[in-house]
Structures are given as structure tokens and as C-alpha cells.
Amino acid sequence: MSAVDRRTFLSFTGALAAPLALPVAARAAPDTDATQAAGAAHAADAAQAAGAAKAPGLHTGPIIINALGSLDDPNLDLDPKAPRDVPSKSNPTPSSGEDPFTERVLREVHASGLTAVNVTLGYVAGDMEPYETTIRDIARTDAAIRAHANDLIKVYSASDIRRAASQRRIGIIYGFQNAQMMGQDASRVDTFGGLGVRVIQLTYNPANRLGDGSIAPGNRGLTPFGREVVERLNANRIMVDLSHSGEHTCLDAARASRQPISINHTGCRELTDLPRNKTDEELRLVASRGGFVGIYFMPFLKTDGHASAADVVAHIEHAVNVCGEDHVGIGTDGSVTSIDDLDAYRAVLAKEIEARRAAGISAAGEGPDTFPFVVDLRGVNQFRELTARLQSRGFGSGRIDKILGLNFLRFAKDVWGS
């Protein structure tokens, strides 16, 4: 099997190993409506980004933290003329060392108001060697951040996120979406912690040595090795992320961890019965231990058709009702830069889904006819649009600020330190 690269469904949603995220539309809108809505949103985004200058000085907007997202241009994957050494979902680590933070990406992320984002690094799935692949990706990302020091800052602690806000830079949080790179050696957690990795998700969709993912049929709990890794993560003050995990692995890990834990990108199974979504029992346990739950902008928010902004808001509302308003935020599983040509993307999506199914990593709710993002909640204005939607549901400014970023910031301080 050829390598399943982390930026494919993840970059376009965020997976063949790296996420993607996008937009806003009406619930159950047909494809033609979704495409029209996307075109209007894209025009608005372009105008917004064109007029947004990165002004120095104090941060004036809300702190917005994407608990799982990406910072790249998914349109590069649609350009057949793009040189091979341009970073893309099919070529995430170019041999020439070029970085993914293009002028458009940086311009649009500043215009969006985003403060910080947890990005997926390293191995997620495929036939690459997990440990070596991950070390290389960390080194490449370090170099890219150094090359854009005026725009980006590597996040080690909660204070780095506040510094990013005050300096009008974007905080980059290093995270994994699979702990397979640990091999059989939990001490590798120490190595990755030393390299600045701040979030480690225990499993991807299938099972690994630590436990079962959301599509693993056995639904085992946390393995002895998984418990050893959780203990090491606690010792290194690295977030234990239970996104993608099976129910029993999630519950076991939440109970085993001595520190608060998170589910950085998920939905609510009570509303949409799909394995990628979490049960109320899981959500409640994570919150009761001081943790954090991020709601994604993904197709798993509904069982038929494209997910909409209304679905995102419904899942946020449910999570707040179950967890309390101090434990819920967003983990879009996508980027700020949106896809320009949805018609061209459909062909790419069909191939990605085929590859994910062949690799055994596709989850129920994914499909060639279902965008791995929310069409009416994407692009430069996605966070402002979400704010307006929450306001229309009666959410006050204090609660909205918590959901946009302050809840994650509080959680980060509890785990990483101030």
C-alpha cells in the first residue's frame, strides 16, 4: 500500500493524515446551494483578507484557539501544475524544505482573528516509519516557523498563546493524532516533549498499541502500554487527547490520567449516532475532571447530506448542556484558507475516500458525496460567523469568548503551566 499522507483527508479535512476545515450554509442545503453559498463566502473572504493589515500593538479581538486545525492552503492540492516541492496533502514534507505558510495562508489567518491552532505533525497512518517520519516533520515545521518569526510563534505554554495575541502573531501548537510513533517505548514521550510537542492523541481511528480507535470492532479499553504512555504524558505536562478513540479507551484514559484531559475535536453522539462522536458519558467524565471538549466542523455532525453551521451550533449547545460552559470550545479539524473550486474538489475527495477505505482508516460518516467540512462555516469569516450564530441562539459575549478560546486557554494553563 502506498503511504497514506497526513495532509490528505486531514488537510482537506484533516486526514490521510492532516486536517482541513471550512464553512457555513443552511442545514441540508443541496449541492447547488452549497456551491453558491461557498462562492459568496469566498468573495467575502477575499475582500476581508485584502483589507486586513497585520497591525502591531495590543490584541483587540477575542482570543480564538482552534484545538485542532491546519494552517495551509488546500487549493495547492487541486493545482496539477503545482511543482512537486510545493507542500500539499500528497507531498507534506518536500525534499527542498519549502514550508506550507504561503503569503495567502498568512494573510488570511491574520484576517480571521485566529490566535492559536493545534496542528497535526508526524505520522497518522500509512506505511511510513512512524518515528522517523515524525522527527522529520517536527524539524521541518521548526524551520518554517523560524522563517516566519514575524507571523508565527511556537507554543510551549499558555503564556505563549497570550504573547501571540499581544504581538499579533499566530501561535502554533504541535500535536499528534496518533501515538503510534512511540513504538514500544514510552520514554519517547520525553523526547517529543523536549521537542515542543504539547498535545498527543492516543489513537487514530483503528487500534494501536495503546488502545482502540473509534472504528476498532473490539472496543477494548486502554492497554497496559497505553497506561504507561498516559503516565509519561502527565509527567511531561503534555495534553492527553482522546479524539478518535473508542469509547472504552476514552473512559479508561480519562480515569487513568492524573491531569485534566481533552477531546480536542469531536461531536455529540446523543445528537448524531456515529462512532467519531462522543457519548454523554465520555463528555461528562472529561469535563468533571477539569478537561476540555472541542466541537469540530465535520461531516460527522449529521447522518445525511452536508453538515451545516446550524449543526455545529446544535452540537456546541448540547456539549455545553452536558459539560458546562467552562469546558467546551472548538476544534474545527480544518484550515482558515478555504477551497476555491468545490467542483474540482469533488474529484479529489472521491480519490481520498477510496484511499482511506483501502487503508482501513475511514470512519462511518465519511463519503465521496459528503464534504469533510462545513460549507457555510469556513474561510476567513468562519469564527465571526460562528459568533453571530451563537448570539442568535442567546449566547452572551462572556460565554462565546469561553467557547472561542478562553476555555482552551484555561485548560492549557492547567496542563502546561502558565
Predicted local confidence at residue 203, as pLDDT: 98
SS3 205: coil
Measured between alpha carbons, how far is 242 from 400 in angstroms, rounded to an integer? 24
CA distances from 351 to 79, 112, 215, 299, 356 (A): 15, 30, 21, 17, 9
Q: How many residues does the chain have?
A: 418
φ/ψ of 73, rounded to 5, equals -110, 105
Predicted local confidence at residue 26, as pLDDT: 29
pLDDT digits (tens, 9 = 90+) for 101-120: 999 999 999 999 999 999 99
Of the pLDDT bands very low, low, confident and very high (cuts 50, 70, 90), residue 34 is: very low
Strand partners, 295: 266, 330
Find the mean pLDDT for residues 22-48: 40
Find the mean pLDDT for residues 47-70: 68
Predicted local confidence at residue 80, as pLDDT: 61
pTM for the full model?
A: 0.86
SS3 67: strand
Of the pLDDT bands very low, low, confident and very high (cuts 50, 70, 90), residue 24 is: very low
Predicted local confidence at residue 407, as pLDDT: 98
Q: Which domains can be identified in the chain, with CATH numbers?
A: 14-416 (3.20.20.140)
Find the mean pLDDT for residues 211-224: 96
pLDDT digits (tens, 9 = 90+) for 85-97: 433 333 333 444 5
State the alpha helices, DSSP H only, in 19-123.
Answer: 31-51, 103-112
Burial class (CB in 10 A: 0-12, 13-18, 19+), 1: exposed
Q: Per mean pLDDT, which range of 27-41, 213-227, 228-242 is the poorest?
A: 27-41
CA distances from 80 to 11, 31, 93, 267 (A): 17, 24, 18, 34
Residue 16 confidence (pLDDT) above 90: no
Find the mean pLDDT for residues 192-221: 97
Spatial contact of 240 and 232, defined as CB atoms under 8 Å apart: no
φ/ψ of 93, rounded to 5, equals -125, 80
C-alpha 93, offset from chain centre:
19
Predicted local confidence at residue 252, as pLDDT: 98
Find the mean pLDDT for residues 300-320: 96
Strand partners, 294: 329
Residue 31 confidence (pLDDT) above 50: no
Predicted local confidence at residue 395, as pLDDT: 98
Q: What is the mean pLDDT of the chain?
A: 86
SS3 353: helix
To which residue does cell 482522546 refer?
242
Measured between alpha carbons, how far is 283 from 298 in angstroms, rounded to an integer? 18
Measured between alpha carbons, how far is 100 from 115 in angstroms, rounded to an integer? 18
Cα Rg of the chain, angstroms: 19
Predicted local confidence at residue 30, as pLDDT: 35
